[in-house]
Chains A and B, each alone.
Chain A
Amino acid sequence: MDIRLDNITHSYDDFEIMRDISLDIPSGQIVCIVGPSGCGKSTLLRIIGGLERPSSGAALQLGEPPAGCLNPLTYIFQDFALLPWRSVAGNVSLVLEDHGIKDAKAQAIIDDVLARTKLADFSKALPKQLSGGMKQRVAIARALAVNPAVMLMDEPLSALDSQTRELLMDDLVDLWTRQPFTAIYVTHNLAEAVRLGHRVVVLSRRPGQIREVVDIDKPLAERAFGDADLDSHQKHLWQLMRDEARAADAELINV
Chain B
Amino acid sequence: MSDTGKSVVFRGGGFAPKSRRWVGLAVFVGLIAIAEWGTRSGWISALTMPKPSDVLETFRELYDSGLLFKHLGPSLSRLVVGATIGVSVGISVGVLIALFSYIRSGLVPLVAAIFPIPKIALLPLFVIWFGIGEGSKYALIAFGTFTPTVVATYGAVDNVDRTLIRMGQSFGLSWWSIVRKIVLPGAMPGILSGLRISLAIAIILLVAAEMLGAEFGIGAYILEAGSLYDLERLFAGVVILSLLGVIVSSLIGLVELWLLDWRT
Contacts and interface: CB of A to CB of B under 8 A. Distances in A.
A194 B135 CA distance: 72
Nearest to B181: A94
B167 A77 contact: yes
Contact of A83 (B166, B174, B185, B264): B185
Contact of B163 (A49, A79, A85): A79
B167 A75 contact: yes
B137 to A, nearest CB: 37
By size class, the interface of chain B is 20 to 34
Given A94-B181, A126-B262, A128-B264, A81 B173 contact: no
A98 B174 contact: yes
Contact of B177 (A73, A98, A126, A128): A98
Contact of A81 (B166, B174, B260, B262): B166
Contacts of A71: 170-172
Contacts of A51: 166, 169-170
Contacts of A75: 167, 170-171
A128 B174 contact: no
A74 interface: yes
Task: From A73, A75, A85, name the one whose CB has the most chain B CB atoms within 10 angstroms.
Answer: A85
A97 interface: yes
A66 interface: no
B166 A146 contact: no
B164 interface: yes
Interface string B162-196: 01101101111110010001100110000000000
Given A51-B170, A71-B171, A83 B181 contact: yes
Interface residues of A, number: 23
Contacts of A79: 163
A163 B261 CA distance: 30
Interface in B213-264: 260-264
A18 B141 CA distance: 56
A72 to B, nearest CB: 9
Contacts of B166: 51, 77, 81
A85 to B, nearest CB: 4
A77 B262 contact: no
B163 A77 contact: yes
A189 B26 CA distance: 59
Given A71-B172, A98-B174, A84 B167 contact: no
Given A81-B166, A81-B167, A95 B173 contact: yes
B107 to A, nearest CB: 28
A186 to B, nearest CB: 14
Task: From A74, A79, A94, A97, name the one whose CB has the most chain B CB atoms within 10 angstroms.
Answer: A94
A49 B171 CA distance: 10
Contacts of A70: 172
A128 B264 CA distance: 6
Interface of B: 163-164, 166-167, 169-174, 177, 181-182, 185-186, 260-264
Given A51-B166, A126-B261, 8 more contacts: A51-B170, A83-B164, A83-B182, A86-B262, A95-B171, A98-B172, A98-B174, A146-B171
7 contacts: A49-B170, A51-B169, A71-B172, A83-B182, A85-B262, A98-B172, A126-B261
